[in-house]
Amino acid sequence: AQTVTQSQPEMSVQEAETVTLSCTYDTSESNYYLFWYKQPPSRQMILVIRQEAYKQQNATENRFSVNFQKAAKSFSLKISDSQLGDTAMYFCAFMKHVQGNKLVFGAGTILRVKS
């Protein structure tokens, strides 16, 4: 079974600075997807970024980028130029590369952006 570990329960960052959230996972699969989801106080789950395991290039979406280390099974999220609206719970998630499959989530990291 796959497991996802987020070792940082809480993080804080000053507005406009950069912060990195950690995620490691365990799997015997060779092909899979990794995701970061954001859950603001509204509790809506919002997809932040996605990485396909077969792609060596790290995914980037505006201020959000990942550092994907397949051999180390590590998938960290970097948020640049942090904004107050980035304050949320962030979940790392894993999915096997199978049509229609479940997401396996980590426990989450609460990120607080301070002004």
Binding site for another protein (CB under 8 A): 33, 37, 42-47, 50, 91, 95, 97, 99-108
Bridge pairing between strands 10-14 and 109-114: parallel
Give whichever of 24 and 80 is closer to another protein, judged by the CB atom: 24
* Smallest separation, CB 17 to another protein (Å): 26
Distance CA(107)–CA(84), nearest Å, equals 22
Cβ–Cβ < 8 Å for 37, 95: no
**Closer of 79 and 94 to another protein (Cβ):** 94
Give SS3 for 70.
Answer: coil
Q: Based on CB atoms, which residue is closest to another protein, 18 or 101?
A: 101
Which residue carries 């304050």 as its tokens? 87
Q: Among residues 6 and 82, whose Cβ is nearest to another protein?
A: 6
Half-sphere exposure of 111 (CA within 13 A, CB side): 29
In the complex, the smallest distance separating the C-beta of residue 7 from another protein, rounded to whole angstroms, is: 13
Q: How far is the CB of 16 from another protein (least distance, A)?
A: 29
